Amino acid sequence: VNYQQIPFEAFEQQAGEEVTIMYRWFENVGYIADLAQLEHDFPIPIDFESYLSDRDWAKPDERTSEV
């Protein structure tokens, strides 16, 4: 099976104007993420495995202890 894109005008007749605008944006711009910059700006302070191994499981968590 070979992909063959239909003209956006034909697509718009079937899908409507708003969906066509969205797909044109995907085609021309798309999503871009600078993952290195995101990790720099919002570092994950601890990974899940470290959280589990560093936790004192003998002491109840204040958020889950009975009131």
* 60 vs 62: CA distance, rounded Å: 6
Inside any domain, residue 66: no
pLDDT at 44: 76
* 49 vs 52: CA distance, rounded Å: 5
Name which residue leads in pLDDT, 56 or 34: 34
List all residues 6 or more positions away from 16 whose beta carbon is below 8 Å from its beta carbon: none
Inside any domain, residue 65: no
Inside any domain, residue 3: no
Torsion of CA 51, 52, 55, 56, to 10 degrees: 180
Using 50, 70 and 90 to split pLDDT, how confident is the model at 24?
A: very high
Q: How many domains does the chain have?
A: 1
Please give the model's pTM, rounded to 2 decimal places: 0.48
The residue range of the domain holding 49 is: 8-54
Interaxial angle between packed helices 17-28 and 8-15, expressed in degrees from 0 to 180 and rounded to the nearest 10 = 140
